[in-house]
Amino acid sequence: MTTGPDEVDPTAMHVDAFIADAAASSEGKIYALGIGWNGIYTNAFPATHPHLAVVVTIHVPWTQTNEMHQVRLHLETEDGARVRLGQTVTEAGADPVDVLMVGGDFSVGRPPTLPAGDEQIVPLSFDIDGVTFTGPGMYTWVVSVDERQMRRLPMRVSLVPGAGAR
């Protein structure tokens, strides 16, 4: 089966995604604020951005429902190095470890009223608090499903024009 430039293969899983100031998923929907941007401006580096959300909708074809899947999200630099998204403590008394990726497992059912061939949509919002950018450049959010890269969201981090000049 071939598809045109705006068509998607209905037998393959695909992902849509965007960056937002804030978002939440509830009852099969995404509620988002401040969407439609791909740049952060700062006065100096390193720069810590207080909060953003990466919103993902996974389109699961009928043939892949009722199965477990994995979704993963990470941020990388222009060189492909992973950016620390935060820290966590794995056990009491242990030192914190860097979080380089977030995600989880999901499964979507096949309701009896779903016509054969119809897809199911899984809406997700990944809240990222306090990510630190060490320098200017192009950063890319990478969404993977079942260990296959499905979507890349580029985001430029830049100095505010005139920042640092005295």
What is the domain range of residue 149? 14-158
Beta strands (DSSP E) in the chain are: 14-26, 29-35, 39-42, 47-60, 69-76, 86-88, 97-99, 102-106, 120-133, 137-145, 148-159
SS3 (DSSP) at 62 = helix
The confidence band for 5, taking pLDDT boundaries of 50, 70 and 90, is: low
- pTM, two decimal places: 0.89
The CATH code of the domain that includes 63 is: 2.60.40.2550
The pLDDT value given to residue 2:
46
pLDDT digit string, tens, across residues 119-153: 999 999 999 999 999 999 999 999 999 999 999 99
Number of domains in the chain: 1
User: Is residue 131 in some structural domain?
Assistant: yes
In a domain, 146, yes or no: yes
In a domain, 42, yes or no: yes
